[in-house]
Structures are given as C-alpha cells and as structure tokens.
Structure 1
C-alpha cells in the first residue's frame, strides 16, 4: 500500500520523503522492523533519484544504531541481497558514485545479515547467483567480491559443490574464473575443501572430455576449465604421503629409545643398542671410519697450521707497509677534503652575503630561531658526543694494537695470533661453564626452597 503511494507520487518528492520518514521511525528501536520497512518500501525505490539519498542514509543510520546484527538474521534473502550487490558494485547504475560508495561500505554488514546465523546451511542457495554474475567482463571489484564469496560458499557449505556440478556446463566461463581463483588461493584453503574439491574437479575433467569430444560449448572455455582442472589435480597429487613428517616422527622415537636405553644401562657400551650394533658389525666399522676421519682431520689441521704460519707471516710482512701507507694516504685525503669544504663554506659566506639578508627578510623569525636552535644542537652533538666517541675509539684501537704488539714481542705472526685466539676461546668456554653451573645451582636452590 505504501509502495503504491510512493510510486504514484514520484513527482512530489516532499510527500514521498515524509512517508519514508514516518515509516522509518519504527526501525530506530527495533532492527527487525527497520529492515522490514527498508526492504519492503525503500529498496524498491532505491533507483529513484529523489529518494535514493534518504534510503541509503536511513540504512546507514539503522545499521549504526544496531551494531548487534543478530536480531536481523533471516530478514535478507537472495531475492533482496543480490539487487544490493548489483547496486554496490555495478558501475553506471541509477545511483550516484557517492551513494554507491556509501552502499559499498555498508555491504559487509548486509552480507552478514544475509548469510545469517548458520551460513553453513544457507550459502548453497546464494551460490548460483554468485556464479552467474562472475563473467570475465564484470568489473574487477565485483569480480573479486564474487570469487571471494563463492570460495566462502564452498568452504562453509558442502552442498555448494553439488550445486556447482549441476550448473557447470551452463557456466563454463564463470567456472574457469572460479577454478583459477581456487588454484591461486590453494595454499590458504583448508584440507576439508581440498577433499570435496577433488571429487568435483574429477567430475569436471570427465565432463570436459565429453564436451571436447562432442564439440559442445565454447572451445576456449572448455580448454581453460580443463587446464585449471589438470593443474588442481596435479597440486592434489603433489601433496602425497607426508614422508618427511613420518621420518621426523621415527627419528624422534628412535632418539628417545636410544637415550632411554643408554640411561637404563648406565653407559653406551653396556646398552642394548651398542650390543646390537656390535653384533651387526656396524659399531666396529663406524669406529674404524671415525679413526680414519679423525686422523685425516688432524693431518689437515697440521698442514693448515704449517701453511698458515708461513704464508701468514709472509702476507703480514708484505701487506703491513702497504696498509700503513694506505692509512696515512686516507688521512691526508680526509684532511684535504675537510679543508676544501671549509674553504668552500668560507667562500660562500663571504661571496653571498645577500643570501642571509634575503632569508632573514623572507622567512619568519620563529623559523630562523628554530634553525639556529637546530644548528646549536648539531654543534653540541658533534663537539660533545661524536668527536669524543671517535677519539675514544681511536685510543682503544691504538691501545689494543699496542698490546697485541707487546704480547707478540713486536712481531705479529700467525703463531702469536693463533695462541691469542686459543686463549680467548678457552677462557670464554671456562666462563660459559662457570655461568651455566652457577645458573643450575641457583635453579636447584630455588626449587628446593619451594
């Protein structure tokens, strides 16, 4: 009745808006009544230019006043949802771009209302309309939303797969897009979807062969679907048996059994594992192999020690004068660059006095004061922090090098460096052992105290 009034008075917007305002008052206290009014009266007039702004703003206010959408479940069905989807995403419709953008912002909440409290039992009824709209020519934003929604239907409602199989031959182009989307999002989909999808893709593959043999359907669409099906089947087969996980589990169990065996018998030699390896001949063979490997490593270490001692001393004697010369040259270059920069700055200061006057006349006093503060801060940081830090670092490096020279009797050789490294490694290892022992004693004391 109210809809007939609105349609008969389209040329009198003020009266129509009054009717809409009066009907919409019930929705501000009850979401169910508000949606009932909006779907029954305002949605049918959404394309009318003079009434569309009020209809969209009322829906926005209604959903903002009722953030808990559970009272509205069951109100929006496929019949009402898909016109809203078209209004929100299809370009060049009867809504202005600003209203369409506003409706698109409301679309996620409308989608929640449409899918309801149990989407796993309702999504298969939405799947056909999603599929029919997902044509290759549809706008990118709408295509993305349709593919995402169809993936949601397949993952939540298993009946969507049977609906898809029934519609497959009539929607080959759309199915090709969906198959490729599932292929791209394969890694993020669940195993449950993989199992149901495997049966569906196999049936699609049989259908593709039949269509190709009969020459029915678009050859391009059939070929695209067949290629996507083959790639999906290849990914499904590629998963295979989880041999790596099985080997990891066996390795963990084997290590646990071995440790338990050794702990039970008190030592490895007395354990059952050692007796088994000894009776099989594996233990003597492994011991012999270990002796050979140890001997080879020892000989290699001795050869490396002799070679490095000789070649290291030679390299130090040859390269050290060059490094000293390079250090002196670098210092001279740095001093020269610094002097050139100072000369350039002084030339700029003496040759361009007008720049300072121009800046003082053009820039605000507060900005000049801020620049002066920044300059003073930078000078303070350089003089108080950077220069002392560099001087301290240079002093530490010089003292360290002098200590190294003193400990090596003025001649830095590979033998001396090796002794220092071994001493440092040994002291670090002793410190680590002592720290670990202290930590263990502290933990035992804490446990016994409680």
Structure 2
C-alpha cells in the first residue's frame, strides 16, 4: 500500500552478505564514508577544478590566496625586458665580445682543420645579433667605411684575427661563399648584416678579392640584377676593394658596375661610386692611369652618356674630366701619341659655341693638356692639318673663344708658329672657286689669334701731356706761394725779370684776368640761353653727322680689315725671308725681348716687395700708423671741403674785382 511518501523505484541491491539493502538504509549512512574528489580526479587537476567554482569559505582551498600573492610578487620582481636596438650601431654595441670569442674558440677546437666552419659560425652568430632592417643597402647617408667604422674595437679585433687565422686561401673562398650566401639569404628574407660586415673586413686586408673571381661575380650579379635590393648589395660588396686600391675599384667599376649603368635602379649608384672613387684617390701620388685606360674610359663614357638621364650624363662627363686630370698629372711629359689619337676621336665636323657639347669639350681640354705639357705636340698637330682639318678648326675656335683662360697654359712661340703655318697651308685652299667654309672660318680664327699675340699698347700721349701741364702749373703755384703770393718775388718771376719779360707778362696776366672775369660773367648769364638755341638749330645736323660718322666707321672698318688681312698675309712671308737669310734671328730677338722683360719684371717685383716691407716696418708706424693716417685723412678731407667753399666765395669776389679793371 501506498504510505503517502516518495518511494524509490528500481532493483534492490544486494549487500556483500547477500541481503537486500533499502534506500532508507543508504540515506542513513554517514557522508564521510562516500568517495572523495582526490580519489576520482588526479591531484594535478584539483586546483583547476576549484578555480571555476564558488565555494563556501569553509570548503575553499586554504592556499589559494597565498598563491595569488606569490604570483603578484613574482611579477613585480621580474627585471624589465631589454629594448631592441634601433639601428646597426646599437646592435653592434650590444654584442658581447666574450660570447663571440667563446664561439670562435669552441669551433677552432671542434673543427681544427675546417676554417670555413669557424667563419660560417661567426657569420651565423652576427646575422642573429644584427636583426636590423636596412632601407638602402648602399648606405648613401653614411661614411664610405660604414658599418665597419662603428664596430667596437674589441669586437673588430676578434673578427679580424679569426679571418687572418683562416689563411688567405680560405679567406678568398669564404669571400666568394659569403657573396652567394648574401644573395640567397636576402632572397629568403633573412638577416644578412653579418655577411656585409665580414665582406667589408675582408676587403680591408685583401681588396683584390673583389676582382679575383670576376666571372663568378658577373654570373651572380646577372642572376639578381632584376631584384634591385640584392643587386645593389652585391655592387656595394664588389666596390669595397676600391676604398683601398684604386686599380681594383676601377676594374670592378668597369666590369661589374658599368653593364648595369643604364638600368634605372642602378644608374645613380654606379655614377656616384665612380665620383667617390676618383675624389678619394685623386690626391694620392701612387695612383696612375695608362694611356689605354684613358682611351677606354673615353670610349665607355661616349657609349653610355646617351643612355642616362641628363643630370647623370652630365655628372658622368665630369668624372671623365677628373679621370683625365689624374692621367695628365701622373704620366710624365710625352703625349704625342695621345694627342694624335685624341684628335681623331673628335667628331669630323666643325664644332663651335653651343655645338661643342660637354663631352667633346673634355676632349678639347685633353688636347690642350697635351700641348701644355709636351711642346712637341705642336709638331704633331701640324702634321694633322690636312687629315683633321675640321678637328683643327674646332680646337682653334676653342682657343680663340677662351683666350684669357687658355693662353697662359700654352707656349706662345710654338702656338704662333702653328697658327701661322696653318694660315700658310690653307692659302692654296682659299684660292679656288669652291672654298671650304670650315677652312675660311679657321683662317679668320687664326688671324684673330695672331692679332692678339702681336698687339701692343700705344703710349697715352694725351693724358701724359695733360699731367705734364698740370705738374708745371702746380710747381709755379708752389713757387709763388713760397714768395708770399707775389709773383715778382718768386723764382719764376725773377727769371722773367732777368729775361726782360716780367713787366709785359704782368700786364698780359692782368689783361687776361680782367678779360676772363668779364667773359666768365657773360657766360654765366648768356651760356644757358645760347646753349638751348644752339641745340635746337644743330640737332638735325647732328643727326646727319651721326649717320655720316656711322657710315664712315663701317667703311673704315672694311678698309682696315682689308689692310690687316694683306699685312697678315705678308708678315709670314717677311718672317720666312728673314729666317732664310738670317736663321734664328727672329727667335733670338723674341727670346731676348722676353728674357729682358721677365728679368725687368722680376726686378720690379723684388724692389716692390722690399719697398713694401720697408714701408710697413719702418715708415707706417707710430704717428704714421694706418689708423692714425685714416683719421688725419678724414680731417684733411673736411678741411679741403671747407677751403673749397671759401675759395669759391673768394673766386666770385675776384671775378667781380677783375671784371672792373679796364
């Protein structure tokens, strides 16, 4: 029967002794004999089991709060993490030299017969420490020796020692391997700053490594030239040898840099490298350039200048100018062959003014350098008149247009002889009906050069006469002032008295003064009126006279040009006749004249220097010091101005007085 209570529905369980157990009996069992959490869950998970549950305080683990406090203390006690380096210099400073030395020593012991393994381990170590992104692998905004220049001395010493210990042969092999590793690692996006640093250190001791395996380097560059960051990194590595050896740098530039000069991403760096190379070695006496290297450079620039932007093309031609300066400054004084070849490299056309582009201007400058340093080049030039007539005209035109700058560089005697001979040789050409326009222009240029070389300055007779009269008047005035202002008592007056002309001269002087005074007053009143009337009347005639004068000047210019041309044609004949009957006379006269002038100029210069030194040390001191003289000069100028004002008033009074004398 139902008792009105909840009943448990299910099978009865048997006890261990076979008796049935009721649910009541089970409920009456104490809970302490039930299964524990520790018996079901592993001990290591108990803590996490309780962490997500809210438990009464009497059942909460006792050590939970303590563990939280410990964690907070541990977080507070942890040291701050070091900041990553911002640039390559900070990364190099952060490298521990002791750690590097330990790696080197360990590898030397483990791989005593495999130096390449040591070096590769060092490279891997550096790459792992120098995790800096490089924007431009050529380091354009840093010194040329960067990043080696910022490596700490202890670290640099360790790297240099391990590279030397490996031996030159292994170092060469490692250089080639590292170049390949540099390109491969960059293509994978890995750090390669360690490779860069080791390559740069190797080129300091062995710059020739950059050009030893030339074919391998060319193949490596060709493989990655379409990837500018890698290609520029390789060029930077190839060019490091040029920092120590000019010949290595030029060879690397010509064979590794030039083939990519026309590629947009490489042009600026290739030209800039050449500029830096020439500037770095231009002052070194050991640097020399052969004639073949000069011609090769000229041809190279000629071939590449048109494939570059205008600014880079202009810059490349400037580098050619620097290059030729090094050649001429270090190549002795024999340039006949050079002159001959350079003359033929000029275009076979007459170039003048704007048509002479910067490249051909450098060639002309090379020809002038040959003439300046080797006088025998003038003889070579004369032999090329007929073969290189247009090139000769270009050179003569450049000399004529830049005479002030060029003439001091050339020997006047040889140049004069060359120009005169050209005029003589071109005379036959000008006699025909069909005249070569280039020869005609060159002939006129030669005449202009000869005129400049033979022109002399005329003595200024007019100014000399004026100063002589002024000096005489000053002496007479001084003589009269010494006699108290009375002319009869002066030396000049006494001389006139002895000659019997004093009385007559006084009367003439008084008459002159009175007439001059009345004339001055009349001019002062009437001159402006008559001047205006004269201008109105003479203006048409003045314009007519001006036109006649212009026509006359033009006719005179034509006549003068004809006469000058006739004389210039006859002068070489006269000189040749004199040379025929008196060989060497003209040259001797010119030589002695130049020698005398030089000696005279030297003497004058020496006397001037001695005089200037004497005045500076003996005269212009004390009261004659420049500062005191300046003050006295200012006082004198003020006094002169006051005296001039007073004299003007006195002059006006005298004019009125003398105007009343009959």
TM-score by length of 2: 0.36
Choose 1 or 2 for highest CA Rg. 2
Structure with bigger helix share is: 1
